[in-house]
Chains A and B, each alone.
Chain A
Amino acid sequence: MTAPPLVKVEGLTRVFDVSRPWLERTLAREGRRLLTAADGVSFSIARGETLALVGESGSGKSTVARMTVGLLQPSAGRVTIDGIDMWATARQRERQRLRRRLQMIFQDPFASLNPRWRVARIVADPIKAFGLAKDWHEREHRVAELLRLVGLDPADGAKYPHEFSGGQRQRICIARALSSMPEFLVCDEPTSALDVSVQAQILNLMRDLQDRLGLSYLFISHNLAVVRHMATRIGVMYLGRIVETAPAAELFEAPRHPYTRMLLDALPDLGMTGRPRRPIEGETPNPIAPPPGCAFHPRCPHAYEPCRVDVPALVQRGGRAVACYAVDTGRI
């Protein structure tokens, strides 16, 4: 890839203070408790590409998504979109213009739409906020066009969100996200609240829109099958770090990191091939007190001494990267 990536994320880190209130803490004589939700996460997304972040609950995928779209300030690290640093203090005007070019789609289509606004007003809001239409007439026209684009009827604009099913609401969310003509969409579990058949409709729609409008996606999901369907590249997260990135097909064909291997092993076998399924042993450790060294080592069948001491770095090799000592040294 010679073109510079649209989105570049470097060393993104976010620490949350989860201490108890000052008085309780002082009485109980305990210190502050800090939770590192994301730790040195780096990736880049090219135009028209879908990068998926996959991981179990608590792996920090949503935190990374919120930082990438600018909803949450990183503790450290940089987010650069088309060469503009999102959190730098200089170039205020440029950053404001940048906001138009990225939008987010949330998991819960019930909580992310204002129940007291009609759909047309919801979809028109970003157009108004960014001053993208000359007059009322042009705005109405844009809204109708957007509703048609996501497979709804322009007449639906007069209705309220409660009159729609979950899948239709997610279509409204997509129409709203597209109304500012963004280039980059961050989608945080956009289909996990939906039934399979409705999920298929939304996934198809998202892929069609990508082809038509040349969108780039950061796609967050815990569902490997959905990720397989949507992503061009996949990043696997475990306890706040990316442990492996690879092109989607390669990751599924030949996973390298032991955690990725286990995740794929744990996938239900719909093809009924009789493939023996090895459940992953153990559980995700407490993120407040993560194990030293590689966070995965207590559950890892290949762990040896260095894994318990140092955190392995993400080592680039070809188009893929793996953070594992055992892989680095050729043990597995």
Chain B
Amino acid sequence: MTQPVLSVRDLKVGFPTRRGTLTAVDGVSFDIAPGEVLGVVGESGAGKSITGAAVIGLIEPPGRILAGQVRLGGERIDTLPAEAMRKVRGRRIGMVFQDPLTSLNPLYRIGDQIVETIRTHSNVSAADARRRAVALLQEAGIQGAEARLDSYPHEFSGGMRQRVVLALALCAEPDLVIADEPTTALDVSIQAQIIALLKRLAQERGTAVLLITHDMGVIAEMADRVAVMYAGRIVEIGPVRDVVLNPHHPYTRGLMGAIPPVAARAPRLTQIPGTMPRLNAIPPGCAFHPRCAHAFDRCMRERPERLAVGASSEAACWLYAEPNAPQGAEPAVAGPEVGA
């Protein structure tokens, strides 16, 4: 196997408060190979965005990385001084955020913004940079790129703006792109266009992508592998097909069952009782055990390690450590219930 572009080991991110430190990301590890798209999926508060921010070194103080390593192309970047990290950002890691309006400066023409980014990261003349900007916008599917270079962000629609942001993220030919909910603010039809574009651009350049989203549909469309997060931890990770079609962790099963199917009208949706714990009240042992229909005493005491399940997935669940565990058993999760 080739060296991964990004390698995260036991990442722990905490936010100190008056009542002690809240751990938003707790012992997260994953690799992304060149050209691979790793999807990180989870509900709000699961720690997906914080994981992305930690990789790129943009955790808002007083939050900070408490432990673990982040390596980009084998080199540690979590310990880099701020100035050196600034060079990594944009040059080697591109970033796409949810709201394209906030990632573009409303006072500058988009051409100037792209040219500035290109010239910051590579030593080219203004004319060359402009030519490259036109090519990039064209590649991102913006018609009449030459003329649109002189438009301001507000003159673009939401989908077009997100294309500009994609062009901006890719203009320094980074090794890794972090896309945090890149399609959440967009309409369904535009969403499909942006996913197709991001996928194509990443494939053509062999760029690794860390795709953060709450939408399983987006993951199924675009990711090669997927990591499911719950309460700051990865509960299941594996090839997207395995995780989507044959989930092992009870939380992943519940999550998949909660999505209304399109093929036929389901009588009921699977319901996971309760809600995700707050950061100041994460239960001991497996964080999911109070909501889990299969929990037994070990789940309440010991925190589960990631164990190999199925063909090439891993799930952090004690069910798969027991010799008589229901390996690959029927997805019998939480019965129907109105109140929760």
Contacts and interface: CB of A to CB of B under 8 A. Distances in A.
A127 B338 CA distance: 24
A197 B340 CA distance: 11
Interface string A171-207: 0000000000000000000000001111111011101
Interface string A201-230: 101110110000000000000101110110
Interface string B228-258: 0000000000001100110000000011011
Contact of A224 (B188, B240, B271, B275): B188
Interface in B244-287: 244-245, 254-255, 257-266, 268-272, 275
B221 interface: yes
Contact of A200 (B160, B195, B221, B270): B270
A268 B261 CA distance: 11
Interface residues of A, number: 43
Contact of A252 (B214, B262, B268, B336): B262
Contact of B44 (A195, A248, A249): A195
Contact of A222 (B188, B217, B264): B188
Most buried by A among B192, B255, B261: B192
Interface string A15-46: 00000000000000000000000000000000
Contacts of A155: none
A319 interface: no
Contacts of A148: 339
B187 A225 contact: no
Interface residues of B, number: 47
Nearest to A203: B269
Nearest to A226: B260
A271 B192 contact: no
B174 to A, nearest CB: 25
A228 B255 contact: no
Contacts of A283: 157, 159-160, 189-190
B192 A280 contact: yes
A84 interface: no
Given A222-B188, A229-B266, A280-B189, A196 B258 contact: yes
Contacts of A201: 271, 340
Nearest to B45: A195
Interface stretch (A86-94, A116-124, A259-267): A259-267
Which 6 residue pairs are nearest across A and B when measured between Cβ atoms? Answer: A268-B217, A151-B339, A229-B260, A200-B258, A280-B189, A279-B192
Interface of B: 43-44, 157, 159-160, 187-193, 195-196, 214-218, 220-221, 240-241, 244-245, 254-255, 257-266, 268-272, 275, 336, 338-340
30 contacts: A57-B187, A148-B339, A150-B339, A196-B255, A196-B258, A197-B271, A199-B258, A201-B271, A203-B260, A204-B268, A204-B269, A207-B268, A222-B187, A225-B259, A225-B262, A226-B260, A228-B261, A229-B260, A229-B269, A263-B189, A266-B188, A269-B220, A270-B217, A271-B245, A272-B241, A272-B244, A272-B245, A279-B193, A279-B196, A283-B190
